[in-house]
């Protein structure tokens, strides 16, 4: 895909060419470790695993992934550089995928930066590495799904705050579709509708991976969600380009 690698490298480099990436990483790590060690009462649980970490990471991702996505296209539109980008000899799909993959890699780097937690549990005992590996894979896929949602709203508006709010709300809705209260309400309307909404919940598919169960359907779900939202963002960008 012509121009994909160039856009991806440009975008990824832009994160680390300013203090933005380092500030983001510091805040992310502070929130993750602080929540796990203190609020999660990790040492009081006396278990050598990262269940507390993976139980809190969806909430953190639902905020930090949209925060990463809000600058993807909103900033380009605000400072007018999107017109320059669209006149370059690259396709819209290459530009969209390049910027998205760069942001997703950045979130992956953020997750990888939590490796001291792995060292901690390895030092404290002999953890079951299966749930830890699948938990990190699920976290990376969940981050990609939330990022794709944010990417879509970033195309829609040049106001980064509005983009952030809309993205966080959308991600939160996709997270809570499997809550008992939501399911009871939907069941009262239609049982098939309730089951459909439950199957679309991010947490439904993430929690199975968190437990160490790696199923193809869960991986495919996240990949399809990512592809759908990124494709929708590309369509909206094409329409704005044509206009």
Residue 87 has pLDDT above 80, yes or no: no
- How does pLDDT run across 35-51, given as a tens digit for each residue? 777 765 666 666 666 77
- How does pLDDT run across 126-150, given as a tens digit for each residue? 777 888 889 999 999 999 999 999 9
Domain that holds residue 91: 4-242
Let me know how long the chain is. 243
Where does residue 83 rank: exposed (0-12), middle (13-18), buried (19+ CB within 10 A)?
A: exposed
Q: What is the pTM of this model?
A: 0.88
Number of compact structural domains in the chain: 1
């Amino acid at each position: 895909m012509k121009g994909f690698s160039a856009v991806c490298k440009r975008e990824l480099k832009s994160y680390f060419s300013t203090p933005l990436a380092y500030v983001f990483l510091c805040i992310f790590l502070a929130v993750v470790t602080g929540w796990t060690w203190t609020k999660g009462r990790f040492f009081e649980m006396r278990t050598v695993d990262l269940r507390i970490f993976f139980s809190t990471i969806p909430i953190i991702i639902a905020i930090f992934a949209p925060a990463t996505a809000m600058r993807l296209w909103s900033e380009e539109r605000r400072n007018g550089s999107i017109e320059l980008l669209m006149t370059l000899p690259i396709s819209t799909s290459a530009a969209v995928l390049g910027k998205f993959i760069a942001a997703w890699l950045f979130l992956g780097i953020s997750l990888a930066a939590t490796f001291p937690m792995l060292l901690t549990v390895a030092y404290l005992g002999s953890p079951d590495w299966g749930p830890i590996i699948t938990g990190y894979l699920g976290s990376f896929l969940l981050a990609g799904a939330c990022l794709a949602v944010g990417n879509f709203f970033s195309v829609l508006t040049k106001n980064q705050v509005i983009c952030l709010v809309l993205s966080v709300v959308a991600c939160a809705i996709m997270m809570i579709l499997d809550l008992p209260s939501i399911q009871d309400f939907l069941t009262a309307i239609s049982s098939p509708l309730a089951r459909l909404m439950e199957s679309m919940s991010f947490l439904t598919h993430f929690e199975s991976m968190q437990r160490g169960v790696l199923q193809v359907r869960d991986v495919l779900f996240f990949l399809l969600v990512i592809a759908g939202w990124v494709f929708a963002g590309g369509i909206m960008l094409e329409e704005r380009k044509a206009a």
